[in-house]
């Protein structure tokens, strides 16, 4: 209904948003999924970006004007939920089995849906508030997300949130973890080992933000490393 109020061809926009909601993130992938030429698809995508339904994201450190690594994401979480779960099962919902669909297809998947990217966005907002209150290890002038290839591990890698002060050559690398079990030292050490993915800084700091608590070993790791901070959900919502 919202799309019909704003746009003349809601069916095409429906297809594009649904394609992104189900995993397509690059222009070629989206065009292939909806069966349309890229030159036409990009015009619809730009309209959805203007409406703030979609957004284009780039890896931290990339120049948006020159980078070819940008991906498309659903910016509005209401749309993201609708097209991930409701739109794909509209017929079932309308015929009265919405409860069964929710129990079997939605609720079992909901933790993953919240964890990435919703919880990451909540954590980013927390970091911005902390930065404003001068509660981070340094005053950050830039925030972002990084993804790319790890040449050492010969695999794809990502860093959930990055904050930097380029002038002072200081950087904060963050991992966001939405799970019920306590986060352990191994996960935190893995985050701390990623510093080499972003070379050129004099000081590296690390922050782990978890829905749940931490193991004793993880807490000991925090005490032993002045550049490491462990954050829980309660702290985020203080």
Q: What is the mean pLDDT of the chain?
A: 94
Residue 2 has pLDDT above 90, yes or no: no
Which residues of the chain form CATH 3.40.1350.10?
113-236
Cβ neighbours of 224 (radius 10 Å): 8
Distance in angstroms (rounded) separating the CA atoms of residues 152 and 48: 38
**Residue range(s) occupied by CATH 1.10.10.10 in the chain:** 2-96
pLDDT of amino acid 213 = 95
| pLDDT for res 151 | 86
Sequence-ordered list of residues with C-beta below 8 angstroms from that of 65, at least 6 positions apart, any chain:
none
Confidence class for position 160, pLDDT limits 50, 70, 90:
very high
Give the fold, CATH level 3, of 2-96.
Arc Repressor Mutant, subunit A (1.10.10)
What are phi and psi for residue 8, nearest 5 degrees? -90, -20
0.95 exceeded by the pTM? no
* Mean pLDDT value of segment 86-93: 92
pLDDT in tens, 122-139: 999 999 999 999 999 999
pLDDT for residue 154: 86
> What pLDDT was estimated at residue 120?
95
Q: How confident is residue 206, by pLDDT bands cut at 50, 70 and 90?
A: very high
pLDDT tens profile 12-23: 999 999 999 988
State the CATH architecture for 113-236.
Answer: 3-Layer(aba) Sandwich (3.40)
């Amino acid at each position: 209904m919202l799309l019909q109020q704003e746009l003349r061809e809601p069916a095409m926009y429906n297809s594009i948003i649904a394609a992104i909601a189900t995993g397509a993130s690059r222009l070629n992938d989206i065009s292939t999924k909806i069966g349309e030429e890229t030159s036409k698809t990009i015009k619809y995508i730009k309209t959805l970006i203007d409406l703030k339904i979609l957004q284009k994201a780039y890896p931290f450190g990339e120049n948006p004007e020159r980078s070819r690594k940008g991906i498309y994401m659903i910016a509005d979480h209401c749309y993201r939920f609708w097209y991930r779960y409701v739109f794909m099962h509209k017929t079932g919902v309308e015929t009265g089995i919405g409860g069964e669909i929710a129990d079997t297809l939605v609720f079992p998947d909901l933790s993953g849906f919240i964890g990435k990217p919703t919880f990451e966005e909540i954590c980013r907002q927390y970091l911005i508030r902390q930065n404003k209150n001068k509660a981070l290890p340094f005053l950050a002038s830039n925030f972002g997300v990084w993804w790319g290839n790890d040449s050492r591990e010969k695999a794809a890698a990502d860093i959930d949130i990055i904050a930097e002060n380029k002038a002072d050559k200081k950087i904060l690398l963050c991992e966001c973890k939405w799970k019920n079990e306590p986060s352990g030292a191994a996960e935190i050490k893995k985050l701390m080992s990623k510093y080499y993915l972003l070379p050129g800084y004099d000081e590296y700091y690390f922050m782990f933000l978890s829905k749940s608590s931490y193991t004793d070993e993880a807490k000991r790791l925090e005490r032993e490393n002045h550049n490491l901070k462990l954050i829980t959900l309660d702290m985020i919502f203080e």
